[in-house]
A and B are shown apart, each in its own frame.
Chain A
């Protein structure tokens, strides 16, 4: 549809060819066109035709050398920034790293203005409304889909700054069993071991993985020990229906060494979380969709410094169905409902903060019309309802225009939304039942241009006007005026020869007031060289003016990774992190490790 020249070739060129060379074509049998899509399984890509999307597939994940989803997307996707403070982990609770911001929206601590999904299901701490950074290793991830800007139309609450959808391992299409074992080790007594298996017999298929990571950390009292597990099983009920069960679990113990100016030795934080979902997919002639029932629960125990303990849950239903109502027109109807909350205690005083829950959800309609095979128009509206909040209408309009074979223009305007969390409404104080939801109007225009087969770029300009942002001003929590973020996102891909490729992304963020933990200029520069079975990659991150409370931090960090594929079954990787031994911080007063080495081997059988 987007490729008008390609269509012209088939529609005009082929019949002309037939007429011009009848003697030859009389002997031909012409099979129908075989269409190859770059991301055939991505429902996000097909429903968000006018959005700014980045999809990173398994091949790119393996090339990247990243160890978790946050590291992957912050080094690859413009507009996305995540802070770090150590090896293997981000931590949990106050002072933790792993604050994900997209286009300047993230919410700080707690990180509740972005939504992270695991196989389309929210992974959110029920009380504070933030994602779980240490639950997203890359061992069994098939692809990561990043939507920048407000996407509350489809995803509702929390999807104000953007959405990250982590798709776990693809179920095997053919019968058989495949097992992959990975083991790695590095400085600071850091170890990693993982085992994953996928199999299929008849209509039943599954994947399962287990990951263990340990490190003593680069600073005293910064150890991390964690288990991650994932499972997915699918069963084809019929030709048109498939049932998929997915589950995940994480059990971590992490030490927070405290700021370098006031180090701590008693701050250990433990977290056990798990979730499961059951999805019924349907693919019929004119419709496709899914219904998902999911649940998630967690136990957080922060003895010592924070003296906090909590149990939290969230559970819900997500349903959508996309209908082809006419030629080049699809309507998607959907809805979701979620109940979340939990119970918190002060373990030092024994104070019980109480048990609180809230229900929220919405229904939406989204229409996508393609005109003249060149112009895609998309419009939809969502009705969002949440306890303690008035009904909210959330519209989204977008367009995408194929200007030439190599040029695409796109634009979108949408409203984002975040309802007050349990923490905002009830806890500690400061909290208030009078809080209004946070909201943001997000608009963007962009161009994607291929200058040649070896050079392409994607440029997007955005403007976000966020209002009613919730801040804690003891003794109460209030809605403030808001913030305006505008900026530019640029990513270029340069592949001049077979043995070299270069990917550069640049983010410019202009805020009307200074926000800690964000930087106005970020460049990520990736070079890859290929020679026989070797590949060498350098990854450089240049950050200018990362805002801290009383200063700005500039740094330029380069990692080097060398991989050797012995055959299709075994891959050896050697990595030098921070090769130039740069002194830098991403969280204020938490110095990052200097140069450190890492090696691993992965075997598939």
Chain B
């Protein structure tokens, strides 16, 4: 390789690095600006939303309905219609991304975080509904505690096993986990055991408000091999 070729290559590499830096700094700056913009205005998106973890539900969703009802009347809650918003709440993040949303938010939903909290605190949209904020924030905290307790069973990792366990539980007055059950087990018992241990490790949660007590909380825990 001649010297001139090396010089051209070095120049191209430097330009490439500069473009990379510029690109992700711009994207970062844009995301920060957008977060501030959404927090400062109610007109950021067509349909105001309340986010729960990586799934968004409309403001009239089940969570808000729960808060607006009398907490000591579970019969009334049982009588609530299984409307479409409930279904939306139960869509997986990938399906949710197909619904009408801002493009950048769609992409965010496509890739759940691999570890740790499901999303950073203070993200746009979280506090858009004052009525729903307390239960929403509480459930966000519950999910964060679960995400911080996750682990992949050693033998499943060795053998590249994968699976999904859907568990449900209630949260008692003091924040303790009650009534844990596996709603849909994985075909590999190692994941069912791990899901139970993850939930045991994640609990106790902080004492819930009355709108949470008596409600069964369901969460799918997916174990996925990286390669």
Chain A residues engaging chain B, CB cutoff 8 angstroms: 1-3, 6-7, 9-11, 13-15, 17-19, 22-42, 45-46, 48-49, 51, 53, 55, 57, 59-60, 173, 239-241, 282, 284-287, 289, 291, 317, 319, 321, 324, 327, 333, 335, 337, 359, 361, 363, 385-391, 405, 408, 448, 450, 453, 456, 458, 493, 495, 501, 503
**Looking at the complex, which one of B87, B97, B114 makes contact with A18 (CB distance below 8 Å)?**
B87
Chain A, residue nearest B148 (CB) = A173
- In the complex, which residues of chain B have a beta carbon less than 8 angstroms from the beta carbon of A282? 24, 28
CB distance from B65 to the nearest CB of A (A): 10
The answer to whether A361 and B164 touch across the interface, beta carbons within 8 angstroms, is no
A390 to B6, CA, bound (A): 11
**Is B37 in the interface zone, CB < 8 Å from A?**
no
A285 to B107, CA, bound (A): 8
Number of residue pairs spanning A and B whose beta carbons lie under 8 angstroms apart = 257
**Looking at the complex, which one of A13, A31, A45, A286 makes contact with B218 (CB distance below 8 Å)?**
A31
- In the complex, which residues of chain B have a beta carbon less than 8 angstroms from the beta carbon of A35? 112-114, 222, 224
CB distance from A1 to the nearest CB of B (A): 8
**Is B110 in the interface zone, CB < 8 Å from A?**
yes
The answer to whether B221 and A36 touch across the interface, beta carbons within 8 angstroms, is yes
Chain A, residue nearest B112 (CB) = A35
**Is B45 in the interface zone, CB < 8 Å from A?**
no
Chain B residues engaging chain A, CB cutoff 8 angstroms: 1, 5-6, 9-10, 12-13, 16-17, 20-21, 23-24, 27-28, 31, 52-55, 62-63, 66, 74, 77-80, 82, 86-87, 89-90, 92-95, 97, 104, 107-108, 110-116, 118, 120, 139, 142-143, 146-147, 150-152, 154-164, 166, 168, 183-184, 187-190, 198, 212, 214-227
Give 27 A-B contacts (CB < 8 Å), ordered by A residue.
Answer: A6-B224, A14-B220, A18-B86, A24-B216, A26-B77, A26-B82, A29-B63, A29-B66, A31-B139, A32-B54, A33-B222, A34-B143, A35-B114, A37-B152, A39-B227, A42-B227, A49-B227, A241-B28, A287-B23, A289-B24, A317-B13, A385-B6, A385-B9, A408-B160, A495-B155, A495-B158, A501-B155
A111 to B62, CA, bound (A): 64
The answer to whether B160 and A456 touch across the interface, beta carbons within 8 angstroms, is yes
A174 to B88, CA, bound (A): 35
A319 to B23, CA, bound (A): 13
CB distance from B115 to the nearest CB of A (A): 5
Interface centre among B80, B215, B223, B226 (most CB of A within 10 A): B226
Closest 6 CB pairs of A and B: A32-B53, A40-B114, A6-B164, A456-B159, A31-B219, A45-B227
Q: A31-B142, A35-B114 are in contact. Are A495 and B159 (CB under 8 A)?
A: yes
CB distance from A396 to the nearest CB of B (A): 16
CB distance from B66 to the nearest CB of A (A): 8
- In the complex, which residues of chain B have a beta carbon less than 8 angstroms from the beta carbon of A495? 155, 158-159
- In the complex, which residues of chain A have a beta carbon less than 8 angstroms from the beta carbon of B190? 453
Given A9-B166, A31-B52, A287-B24, 20 new contacts (CB under 8 A): A7-B94, A22-B82, A25-B86, A27-B78, A27-B216, A28-B168, A28-B217, A33-B54, A36-B198, A36-B221, A37-B115, A38-B157, A38-B224, A46-B227, A284-B28, A286-B107, A361-B9, A385-B1, A389-B1, A493-B159
Chain A, residue nearest B163 (CB) = A6
The answer to whether A289 and B20 touch across the interface, beta carbons within 8 angstroms, is yes
- In the complex, which residues of chain B have a beta carbon less than 8 angstroms from the beta carbon of A13? 184
The answer to whether B166 and A14 touch across the interface, beta carbons within 8 angstroms, is yes
The answer to whether B227 and A33 touch across the interface, beta carbons within 8 angstroms, is no
A28 to B218, CA, bound (A): 7
CB distance from A357 to the nearest CB of B (A): 12
The answer to whether B110 and A37 touch across the interface, beta carbons within 8 angstroms, is no
CB distance from A451 to the nearest CB of B (A): 10
A491 to B124, CA, bound (A): 47
A10 to B221, CA, bound (A): 10
The answer to whether B221 and A34 touch across the interface, beta carbons within 8 angstroms, is yes
The answer to whether A285 and B160 touch across the interface, beta carbons within 8 angstroms, is no
- In the complex, which residues of chain A have a beta carbon less than 8 angstroms from the beta carbon of B225? 2, 37-38
**Looking at the complex, which one of A9, A39, A241 makes contact with B164 (CB distance below 8 Å)?**
A9
A9 to B115, CA, bound (A): 22
Q: A28-B217, A32-B54, A33-B221 are in contact. Are A46 and B226 (CB under 8 A)?
A: yes
- In the complex, which residues of chain A have a beta carbon less than 8 angstroms from the beta carbon of B139? 29, 31
A53 to B226, CA, bound (A): 11
Q: A23-B78, A453-B188 are in contact. Are A34 and B159 (CB under 8 A)?
A: no
Q: A18-B90, A27-B74, A29-B63 are in contact. Are A493 and B224 (CB under 8 A)?
A: no
Chain B, residue nearest A18 (CB) = B90
- In the complex, which residues of chain A have a beta carbon less than 8 angstroms from the beta carbon of B187? 453
